[in-house]
Amino acid sequence: MDKSVITRAAVAAVLALAVAGCGTTSGDGDDDSGSSGSEGQSAFTAPDVPMAESLGDNEGELSVLAWPGYAEDGSTDPSVDWVTPFEEQTGCDVSVKYFTTSDEAVTLMKSGQYDVVSASGDASLRLIAGGDVAPVNTDLVPNYADIWPYLKDRDWNSVDGQMYGVPHGYGANLLMYNTDVVTPAPTSWSAVFDDADSNAGKVTAYDSPIYIADAALYLMKTQPDLGIENPYALDDDQLAAAVDLLKAQRENVGEYWSDYLKEVQSFKTGDSVVGTTWQVIANLAQDEKVPVEAILPEEGATGWSDTWMVSSETDHPNCAYAWLDHIVSPEANAAVAQWFGEAPASAKACDVAEKGFCDTYHAGDEAYAEQIYYWTTPIEQCLDGRTDVSCTTYQDWTRAWTEIKG
């Protein structure tokens, strides 16, 4: 328990630094020093963004920024559609923009063009600190009451007990392999790390610095000497070990993917035969008759826990709240979860989902949910509670990722 307290304190401290940084840059003087004086602040206060107090008439328009598969309007598969019912019920015309990495989501949200965003844990805090999203008044979201309690008020979706969004669903990054080529069937992430050379040139990996956590998780289980407790809290030595592992992996990587359709295609043509994936990609590949299977390896996995957030600059707050309520309604939440392949956030979604679906994804199983290492932004204060050493930041990871790709 005190671990999470320390984590929160650490996050708060870093946010304080970041916010202090915002303050100095907003001045127009070129000689403003970015760092001076910011250590003096003790408590984190999120940027002062007003929260909606009441709702009015829908504005008729909504711009959605989402992970692929989170806002389907039937154009991918006619039976997969939860956008059209929303448009019919609320009169809000939805336009959807998909993003492929959390970094892209943060950059796009900073443009202020989108009303709502599905943010993973490695994007949500950056959005809150940047003042890009507004606190969410959960009283105005009736379906919020049905969300699993263990998803509420977490480090990645709230500050000081104030929710900044509505939890949507969570899941694990899986290992996908071509069943014709990769035999025997892999059970461990070693298929893409230590044993990757048996499929040299046909291994694929996710093209984002956050993938370093996958290597760290593997090292955590296979090399306990390194002392990795949390794949998002790496000191310099631990990061170096993960980087070495990924550099060795690169020798066998055919290509990295960030565009999910590109991964489907490269598994289809046989240019990739094994690598990390999402359930929705495996589903799409199987729809196209590609012989693939996606498994949760024995080491466990990194994963995501996503939150729908509202832009601080939205011109359509009523449609935005209507979307938040719709997306965690039992029907829509179940539909998204089944399409994307993740555990729904709403307890009632399990009543309308296919029989056994929620058991497969362990929805509602708090102990299982705690075992997935959800994407989190690595920060200087170690997230695993160590205080004797400073951890590597996402900037370090970004640089390391460029170096890994060479």
Partner 1 sequence: MAEEQQSPSGGGALLHRHPRLRLGLLLGPPMLWLGVLYLGSLAALFITSLWTVDAFGGNIQRVWNLQNYRDLFTIDVYRTITGRTIATAAAVTVIDALLAFPVALYMAKVASPRLQRVLVVLVLTPLWASYLVKAYAWRGMLSNDGPVEWLLAPLGGGTPGYGLVATVITLAYLWLPYMILPMYAGLERLPDSLLEASADLGASSATTVRRVVLPVLFPAAVAGSIFTFSLTLGDYIAVRIVGGTNQMLGNVVYDSFLTGNNMPFAAAVATIPVVVMLLYLAAVRRTGALESL
Q: How far is the CB of 203 from partner 1 (least distance, A)?
A: 10
Site for partner 1 in 120-139 (CB under 8 A): 126, 129-130
Instruction: Please report whether residue 8 would count as binding partner 1 according to CB under 8 A.
Output: no
Alpha carbons 110 and 32: distance in angstroms, whole number: 23
Q: Give the span between the Cα atoms of 310 and 166, in whole angstroms.
A: 9
**Contacts of residue 246, Cβ cutoff 8 Å, sequence gap at least 6:** 205, 211, 212, 215, 404
One of 68, 169, 171, 254 touching partner 1 (CB under 8 A): 254
**Residue 45 touching partner 1 (CB under 8 A):** no
User: Is residue 312 close enough to count as binding partner 1 by CB under 8 A?
Assistant: no
Tokens in use for 120? Answer: 């993973």
How many CB atoms lie under 10 A from the CB of residue 268? 16
Using rule CB under 8 A, residue 5 touches partner 1: no
CB of 268 to partner 1, least distance (A): 9
209 binds partner 1 per the rule CB under 8 A: yes
For residue 208, state whether it binds partner 1 (rule: CB under 8 A): yes
Residue 81 contacts partner 1 per CB under 8 A = no
State the Cα–Cα distance between residues 402 and 395, nearest whole angstrom: 11
Applying CB under 8 A, which of residues 12, 14, 65, 353 lies at the interface with partner 1? 14
C-beta of residue 222 within 8 angstroms of C-beta of residue 241: no
Q: Examine residue 22 and tell whether it contacts partner 1 (CB under 8 A).
A: yes
- Smaller CB separation from partner 1, 267 or 361: 267
Q: State yes or no: residue 36 binds partner 1 (CB under 8 A).
A: no
| Binding residues for partner 1, total number by CB under 8 A | 49
- Whether the bond between 184 and the residue before it is cis, its omega within 30 degrees of 0, is yes
The single residue among 41, 137, 286, 398 that binds partner 1, judged by CB under 8 A, is 398
Q: How far is CA 37 from CA 21, 30, 42, 376, in A?
A: 10, 17, 11, 27
Q: Is 313 in the site for partner 1 (CB under 8 A)?
A: no
b/e 50-67 (16+ beta carbons within 10 angstroms → b): eebeebeebbeebbbbbb
Measured between alpha carbons, how far is residue 39 from residues 18, 121, 200, 330 in Å?
Answer: 11, 25, 49, 45
- Binding segment for partner 1 among 211-219, 250-258, 291-299, 356-364 (CB under 8 A)? 250-258
Q: Identify residues 326-385 at the interface with partner 1 (CB under 8 A).
A: 377, 379-380
Task: For 304-315, give one letter per residue: b (16+ CB within 10 A) or e.
Answer: bbbbbbbbbbbe
Taking the complex as a whole, the smallest distance from the CB of residue 159 to partner 1 amounts, in Å, to 14
CA atoms within 13 A on the CB side of 356: 0
Identity at 255, one-letter amino acid code: E
Any idea what DSSP says for residue 148?
Answer: -
Q: Which stretch binds partner 1 (CB under 8 A): 13-21, 61-69, 148-156, 333-341?
A: 13-21
Burial class (CB in 10 A: 0-12, 13-18, 19+), 121: buried
User: Which of these ranges, 49-57, 211-219, 358-366, 398-406, lies near partner 1 under the rule CB under 8 A?
Assistant: 398-406
Q: How far is the CB of 101 from partner 1 (least distance, A)?
A: 7
* Contacting residues toward partner 1, per CB under 8 A: 14-15, 17-19, 21-22, 24-25, 29-34, 101, 103-104, 106-107, 110, 126, 129-130, 201, 208-209, 250, 253-256, 266, 269-271, 377, 379-380, 393-395, 398-399, 401-403, 405-406
